[in-house]
Structure 1
Amino acid sequence: MLHLDQIQSVFEEIDYKLNEPLKGYTYTKVGGPADVLFFPKNKFELAKIVHYANKQDIPWMVLGNASNIIVRDKGIRGFVIMFDKLNAVTVNGYTIEAEAGANLIQTTRVALYHSLTGFEFACGIPGSIGGAVYMNAGAYGGEVSNILVSAQLLTKEGEVITVEGRDMKFGYRHSMVQDTGAIVISAKFALKPGTYEIIKQEMDRLTHLRELKQPLEYPSCGSVFKRPVGHFAGQLIMEAGLKGRRIGGVEVSEKHAGFMINVADGTASDYEALIAHVIETVEQNSGIRLEREVRIIGE
Structure 2
Amino acid sequence: MSRLYNDLLSANIGKVRENEPLLKHTTIKIGGPADLFVEPSSSESLAKALQIIKKHGVKWRAIGRGSNLLVSDKGIEGVVLKLGIGLDDFELHEDLLTVGGGCSIVRLATIISKKGLSGLEFASGIPGSIGGAVYMNAGAHGSDISKILVKAQILFDDGRLEWLSNEDLEFSYRTSVLQEKKPGICLNAVLKLEKGVKEDIVAVMQKNKDYRKVTQPWNFPCAGSIFRNPLPKYAGQLVEDAGLKGYQIGGAKISEMHGNFIVNAGDATAQDVLDLIAFVKETILEKYGVTMETEVEIIGRK
Instruction: Settle same-fold status: TM greater than 0.5.
Output: yes
Q: Contact between 1:124 and 1:207, CA under 8 Å: does it hold in 2?
A: yes
- 4+ aligned runs moved over 4 Å, structure 1: none
Question: What is the rounded CA distance, in whole Å, between the counterparts of 1:116 and 1:23 in structure 2?
Answer: 35
Query: Structure 1 residue 3: deviation in Å?
Result: 2.9
Q: 1:9 to 1:203 in 2, by over 3 A?
A: closer
Q: 1:192-247 CA distances to partner (integer Å, 9 max, x unpaired)?
A: 11111000111111111111110110000100000002101011111112111101
- Residue 223 (structure 2) pairs with residue 221 (structure 1): yes
1:79 is matched with which residue? Answer: 79
**1:261 and 2:267 matched:** no
Identity value in percent: 39
Does structure 2 conserve the Cα–Cα contact (< 8 Å) formed by 1:151 and 1:187?
A: yes
Q: Does structure 1 residue 142 correspond to structure 2 residue 136?
A: no
- Following the alignment from structure 1 to structure 2, what is the Cα–Cα distance between the partners of residues 166 and 289? 29
C-alpha separation in 1, matches of 2:184 and 2:74? 25
The match for 2:272 is 270
Structure 2 residue matching 1:3: 3-state secondary structure:
helix
State the AA in 2 paired with 1:99.
G
Aligned runs of 1:68-147 on 2, under 5 Å? 68-85=68-85, 86-147=87-148
Q: Indicate the residue corresponding to 1:171 in structure 2.
A: 172
Residue number in structure 2 paired with 1:51: 51
1:55-108 CA distance string (max 9 Å, x none)? 111001101211000000111111100011111122111111110110001111
Instruction: Pick closer, same or farther for the CA change 1:273–1:94 going to 2, 3 Å.
Output: same
Shift of 1:12: 3.5
Structure 1: runs of 5 or more not aligned? none
**Residue equivalent to 2:67:** 67
Write out per-residue CA displacement over residues 143-168 of structure 1, whole angstroms, 9 at most, x where no aligned residue. 11110011000011011111111221
Structure 2 unaligned blocks of 5 or more:
none
Check conservation: 2:8, 2:52, Cα contact below 8 A: no
For 2:207, the equivalent position in structure 1 comes to 205
C-alpha displacement of 1:134: 0.5
Distance 1:64 1:199 in 2: 27
Distance 2:9 2:189 in 1: 32
With structure 2 as the length reference, what TM-score do the two structures score? 0.96
Superposition RMSD in Å:
1.3
Please give the alpha-carbon distance, in whole angstroms, between the structure 1 residues aligned to 2:138 and 2:284: 25
The one-letter code of the counterpart of 2:45 is E
Answer whether contact 1:96 1:111 (CA < 8 A) is retained. Answer: no
Q: 1:8 to 1:191 in 2, by over 3 A?
A: closer
Aligned partners of 2:215 and 2:258 also within 8 Å? yes
| Alignment CA distance shift 1:247-1:156 (3 Å) | same
For residue 17 of structure 1, report the CA deviation from its aligned partner: 1.1
1:184 alignment partner, one of 183, 186, 197:
186
Q: Which residue is equivalent to 2:198?
A: 196
Q: Which amino acid aligns with 1:227?
A: N
Residue 13 to residue 192, structure 1, CA distance change in 2 (3 Å): closer
Query: How far apart are 1:260 and its partner, in Å?
Result: 0.2
Scaled by the length of structure 1, the TM-score of the pair is 0.97
For 2:276, what is the secondary structure of its paired residue?
A: helix
Residue equivalent to 2:246? 244
Give the conservation status (yes or no) of the 8 Å contact 1:2–1:78. Answer: no
Check if 1:31 corresponds to 2:31: yes
